[in-house]
Structure 1
């Protein structure tokens, strides 16, 4: 199934128009959050993480900025009630979403906003949160919170609220994608592919890494995308080890050029694709071909292995074995979930299982990125590949047609 693509499974579920998709997706995602609240016997969840807010409500307001500055927050109740504390003069971001939402003015108690008044404002914030929670969930004590600074935690607990880890609810809620979500993710992926195609056209000796990377940003913003989480593009000896972010280095003929998109595109869904190319019109060296062949084998063998019902531990145990000289520089995980950003689960290599592994089970509807980095310890170049897939009843299906360098194999 690794050679199959989303087009093979999505044609029967394509909705007629974008608004219909969005209505269905909003209802589906809110219901997923409510299901987790009911499962954990939790009356409500308080959300600060902008990606969690987007998932639960589809409202978005300066996501990167609000990820650093907790100036908007939302409480979702198990019965579906939504109360939102929206940033200054921004109530309009809720227009057209179809929610019966109660909008309030937020109290920001970061030092940037409150200075020496942090403690006083935190108490005012806490008093309102307790009041709202008790008003709409009388007699309840359990409130999930995805992100909260110490002063807020202390206030709520002091006033009889028992806190639950909200991320432990939101990650499972976000795990299984609906047919509509796959359509929205597909729109993001097509945008990423346009950016990758533009990068490929502009790839030549003499251009800098930064100049090349700008082409992905250009196509993302041009098509309504949002941001890119990293700057993972490297060339030449900066491809080993991996995790060099792009720089002013000038590309040279014969260099390997590797990148990881990490792109939050249209609709707030992430496109996470890694490819490695050769700079210039020449042919790859024998070493470059070997590195590429190994990385390609790792990704595609693991895609063929991936099946619903398989446990994370079983996948890790059966995964393609990295040759010894490449183990030290291995990628940080074998595979990870993907949705609006990188999501649960993260599947550890067998060598890392004791320190970083945890078990679970792959399910139909999960979207996953299968990873590889191959670069020898002490080597001067490496290959990074990654493929975004969805799990169906029949196995792993690619979500992108972005090509590999199969003529190198």
Structure 2
């Protein structure tokens, strides 16, 4: 057995399903962990409402609804069709509004005090009656806020069209941006959330191993990408946010989506998972390797080693108390030949999707860079994309928990 075959077989044994590649992965996480995470997450939102002096929090983003209540219903469809929403009262109940026929989806969950039928006022569903439908919706929201909010009319809203904002204002409410509340709340994970996230990453790595197993000449980019979808779907996951897997010349420039192009022997295969997996958590990992498990060329190895240097250097800087500005001052400096092909950020938060904060790459740091610092309980992704004129791209990314005294990598899929 040659070295490449031995390495390939070792990775298969380590990361594919131990029960057999023909079976889905089954979570070993006990229900008690999930229930504690549910309580913690809703508590985090209520804390941010108190800080922002809001009487209510109105949620339409399905990721925020999942975070608050752990209720999931047609997640991708409701990302662009606002048909269901949640209303959390600062001094009152937490109410889930499900669209007609779906109330059973939210029944029995511990954070939900009441389930009601959603009033839908999007144009697709109400057409020329949108204004009337909006009035009915706003009347109900305003009545609930007045009942529990007293004199406080401030209501935080995460994603709400202008018609909804105007209708709430017309009824004496004061809508404010809800995303700062939800992003800050979601940024600090409990131990139970981390356990759920570890399982999502486990499923993702099984999908990555399937990609690796099929990285042979003649396999198309789309066929490779489908293996991650397959493992995620059969193991209880939700969706993939992107289609970022390319090979050979299609890796540069980056951000080309997978195509029906067959991968060729020796070409670099680079990908970014962006996977919303089991329990609604995101596994955001990137790897690169050669098609057919061939040794890298000298150029491929140089690019790969450079990307790995960036990952390790910046990873060492992710520690509690380090400000984003301090991180930037000490961060890895990208060599000039790679600058035109760079990734625009060095670190970003991750939870139920990519989240706050986002720390730009050093060359992109400017007045618009956000303030803040790394805190224990944050989970962030450390990124690298290295390419030069006429070369392939190497994309690497690791997912990291900020601990009390440093950090811990949550993924374990090996680099090359």
Give the TM-score band, short-chain normalised. Answer: over 0.9
- 1:200 aligned residue: 212
> Which one has more relative contact order, counting CA pairs under 8 Å at least 6 apart?
1
The alpha-carbon deviation at position 351 of structure 1 amounts to 2.1
- 1:395 aligned residue: 406
Distance in 2 of aligned mates of 1:204 and 1:250: 9
Bigger Cα displacement from structure 2, 83-92 vs 67-76 = 83-92
Alignment of 1:292-303 (within 5 A): 292-303=304-315
- 1:5 aligned residue: none
Total equivalences in the alignment: 389
In the alignment, does 2:274 pair up with 1:262? yes
Distance in 1 of aligned mates of 2:91 and 2:32: 23
Query: Runs of 5+ in structure 2 lacking a partner?
Result: 1-27
* Residues 17 and 404 of structure 1: CA distance in aligned 2, closer, same or farther (over 3 Å): closer
The alpha-carbon deviation at position 122 of structure 1 amounts to 1.0
Instruction: Check the 8 A contact 2:333/2:362 in 1, yes or no.
Output: no
Instruction: Check the 8 A contact 1:34/1:80 in 2, yes or no.
Output: no
Distance in 2 of aligned mates of 1:297 and 1:212: 27
* Residues 165 and 305 of structure 1: CA distance in aligned 2, closer, same or farther (over 3 Å): same
The alpha-carbon deviation at position 118 of structure 1 amounts to 1.1
Cα shift readout 1:203-237 (whole Å, capped 9, x = no counterpart)? 10001000111111111011111111100001001
The alpha-carbon deviation at position 160 of structure 1 amounts to 1.4
2:361 to 346, 349, 354: 349
In the alignment, does 2:62 pair up with 1:68? no
- 1:242 aligned residue: 254
The alpha-carbon deviation at position 37 of structure 1 amounts to 0.6
Instruction: Check the 8 A contact 2:217/2:262 in 1, yes or no.
Output: yes
Instruction: Check the 8 A contact 1:30/1:80 in 2, yes or no.
Output: no
Aligned-residue Cα RMSD (Å) equals 1.2
In the alignment, does 2:223 pair up with 1:211? yes
* Residues 272 and 380 of structure 1: CA distance in aligned 2, closer, same or farther (over 3 Å): same
Cα shift readout 1:322-370 (whole Å, capped 9, x = no counterpart)? 0011112211210100001000000012322225411101101100000
- 1:331 aligned residue: 343
The alpha-carbon deviation at position 80 of structure 1 amounts to 5.7
The alpha-carbon deviation at position 257 of structure 1 amounts to 0.3
- 2:183 aligned residue: 171
Query: Runs of 5+ in structure 1 lacking a partner?
Result: 1-15
In the alignment, does 2:263 pair up with 1:251? yes
Distance in 2 of aligned mates of 1:336 and 1:281: 31
1:101 to 113, 123, 126: 113
Distance in 1 of aligned mates of 2:299 and 2:112: 60
Distance in 2 of aligned mates of 1:129 and 1:80: 13
Bigger Cα displacement from structure 2, 364-373 vs 104-113 = 104-113
Structure 1 runs (4+) deviating above 2 angstroms are none
* Residues 387 and 242 of structure 1: CA distance in aligned 2, closer, same or farther (over 3 Å): same
SS of 1:280 mapped into structure 2: helix
Instruction: Check the 8 A contact 1:348/1:356 in 2, yes or no.
Output: no
Instruction: Check the 8 A contact 1:262/1:273 in 2, yes or no.
Output: yes
The alpha-carbon deviation at position 98 of structure 1 amounts to 1.7
TM-score (norm 1): 0.93
In the alignment, does 2:390 pair up with 1:379? yes
Distance in 2 of aligned mates of 1:80 and 1:392: 34
- 1:134 aligned residue: 146
- 1:4 aligned residue: none
2:291 to 266, 279, 297: 279
The alpha-carbon deviation at position 68 of structure 1 amounts to 0.6
Distance in 2 of aligned mates of 1:353 and 1:281: 37
